[in-house]
């Protein structure tokens, strides 16, 4: 299940890690590269286990001069967003994919005319394992013919245009292309579809309407004689949402149990207000979440089994030495769970700064794989949205996940039956019942509750 937090008045999910913008070379190597000619640039392997990426945007266009190490495009896997850079200098001859397309590792992203000196250098420096990728290389004279005919169907068109033709059920080979070298454009597909009676006139079906077939997230509607008629749309699964699908599918196979407890946060509210009052750093804003993260780490030190991972295949439990606490975040790009590394070694102030840094990266879609990988337990601040509590699903292979409800003032009784207002927070701990039992989780929660309700205990035991 997704867990969320509010960051700068935006809905976010709770997972955050380290940050360095990653770049990958677009061409790992070229086979038998001529002194000068046109080469096909494949999508490089962007990380372990990554088979495909979504193309987000191009930094170059056809005809552009490209320098060595210049960014070519930005792609997104289910783990991170990565810039693809060029290994050499040349001219962009053909761009094969458009933003929104899914590109498999090893498939050609674009074609470039490589200068003579670059061609000889690449051939001599290319390692054997890269040459095995078999990059396409051809002469300029051969390429001019290749530009007129695509490998798939004999017509030059981008994958997005081919997909649009497929959705209308028309054969792209029967469409007259009006683009350069006979390229079939989106407008050509729409015109052909209108002629066949498959869609409305171009005046009512604009280029903006085409974006609905390419997954743009906005509603489309047409005005009919009998009122508004809303159209269906197909939205492709991309980026972090793909990772969430994989993770939640695995989670559905894990035997969960949940433990719910109420925690009095009166002392924590006063401590947070005191910290903020004495704060002299305008870039630091004290919130409850860093306190929850630090107290969680303190409780994990006494009950380390909750900070472990389970390997079902080997039937092994690995108790993690570092407390890499994931914070689930709902971003405009999807749900991500980066993690704060080695929380047991950080102060509350350091956690506050690291949390802010990771939240900024998540909002900008600049989290790298190191930020997202290596988590040992996940914290979901569902209360930042407004829920009293949630029932979170495990982020496999972790064995525990915690959802925090919203802080609310409720009446409480003291021993003499007097009533007073208390700041109460509900927490829900989801656990893997193959590894953890109810008694262990209850004792862990009691320890965590002690540090939250009595922050002086946190200071007493903090190293």
**How far does the chain reach from its first CA to its final CA, in angstroms?**
34
Count of H-run helices and E-run strands, the chain: 13, 25
How does DSSP classify residue 378?
Answer: E
Query: 108-114 and 37-42 as β-strands: parallel, antiparallel, unpaired?
Result: antiparallel
**Nearest one of 73, 385, 53 to 240, comparing CA atoms:** 53
Number of residues assigned to the chain: 463
Distance set, CA 60 to CA 66, 71, 109, 183 (Å): 8, 8, 12, 19
Helix axes 266-278, 288-302, angle to 10 degrees: 120
Look up residue 35 and give its two tokens.
Answer: 């002194």
Catalytic residue among 171, 174, 181, 433: 433
Distance CA 88, CA 108 (A): 16
Q: How buried is residue 81: exposed, middle or buried, by Cβ count under 10 Å (0-12/13-18/19+)?
A: buried
φ, ψ of residue 227 in degrees (nearest 5): 115, -165
Angle (CA) 395 400 402, round 5°: 90
Task: At 164, list the tokens.
Answer: 């649009």
Residue 10: CB atoms within 10 A of its CB come to 14
Q: Which of 139, 171, 281, 437 is catalytic?
A: 437
- 155-165 CB burial, b ≥16 within 10 A, e <16: bbbbbbbbbbb
Q: Among 27, 32, 25, 42, which residue's Cα sits nearest to residue 120? A: 32
**CB-count exposure of residue 133 (10 Å: 0-12, 13-18, 19+):** middle
* Residue 103: strand, helix, or coil: strand
Residue 371 designated active-site? no
Is 437 a known active-site residue? yes
Structure tokens at 404: 């925090």
Structure tokens at 39: 């080469």
Instruction: Provide Rg for the chain, Cα atoms.
Output: 27
Tokens of 87: 């290994």
Q: Are 209 and 218 in contact, with CB atoms under 8 Å apart?
A: no
- Residue positions annotated with a catalytic role: 433, 437
């Amino acid at each position: 299940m997704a867990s969320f937090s509010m960051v700068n008045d935006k809905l976010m999910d709770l997972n955050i890690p380290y940050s360095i913008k990653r770049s990958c070379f677009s061409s790992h190597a070229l086979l038998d590269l001529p002194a000068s000619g046109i080469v096909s640039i494949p999508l490089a392997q962007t990380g372990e286990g990554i088979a495909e990426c979504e193309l987000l945007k191009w930094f170059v266009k056809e005809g552009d001069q490209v320098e060595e190490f210049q960014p070519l495009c930005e792609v997104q896997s289910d783990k991170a967003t990565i810039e693809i850079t060029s290994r050499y200098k040349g001219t962009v001859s053909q761009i094969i994919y458009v933003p929104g397309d899914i590109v498999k590792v090893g498939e050609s992203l674009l074609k470039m005319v490589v200068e003579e000196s670059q061609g000889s250098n690449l051939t001599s420096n290319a390692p054997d394992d890269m040459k095995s990728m078999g990059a396409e290389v051809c002469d300029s004279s051969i390429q001019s013919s290749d530009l007129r005919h695509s490998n798939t169907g004999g017509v030059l068109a981008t994958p997005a245009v081919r997909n649009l033709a497929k959705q209308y059920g028309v054969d792209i080979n029967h469409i007259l292309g009006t683009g350069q070298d006979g390229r079939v454009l989106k407008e050509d597909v729409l015109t052909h579809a209108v002629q066949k009676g498959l869609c409305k006139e171009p005046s009512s079906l604009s280029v903006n309407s085409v974006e609905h077939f390419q997954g743009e997230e906005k509603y489309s509607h047409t005005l009919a004689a009998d009122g508004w008629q809303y159209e269906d749309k197909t939205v492709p699964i991309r980026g972090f949402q793909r990772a969430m699908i994989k993770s939640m599918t695995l989670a559905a196979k894990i035997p969960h149990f949940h433990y719910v407890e109420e925690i009095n946060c009166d002392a924590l509210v006063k401590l947070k207000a005191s910290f903020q009052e004495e704060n002299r750093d305008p870039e630091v804003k004290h919130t409850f979440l860093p306190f929850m993260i630090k107290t969680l780490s303190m409780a994990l030190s006494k009950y380390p089994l909750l900070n472990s991972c389970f390997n079902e295949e080997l039937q092994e439990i690995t108790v993690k030495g570092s407390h890499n606490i994931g914070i689930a975040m709902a971003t405009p790009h999807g749900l991500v769970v980066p993690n704060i590394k080695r929380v047991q070694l950080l102060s509350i102030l350091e956690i506050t700064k690291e949390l802010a840094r990771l939240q900024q990266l998540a909002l900008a879609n600049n989290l790298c794989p190191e930020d997202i990988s290596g988590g040992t337990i996940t914290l979901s601040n569902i209360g930042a949205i407004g829920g009293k509590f949630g029932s979170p699903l495990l982020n496999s292979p972790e064995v525990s996940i915690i959802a925090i409800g919203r802080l609310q003032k409720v009446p409480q009784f003291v021993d003499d039956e007097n009533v007073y207002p208390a700041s109460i927070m509900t927490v829900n701990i989801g656990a893997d019942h193959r590894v953890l039992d109810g008694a262990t989780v209850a004792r862990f929660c009691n320890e965590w509750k002690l540090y939250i309700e009595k922050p002086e205990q946190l200071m007493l035991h903090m190293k």
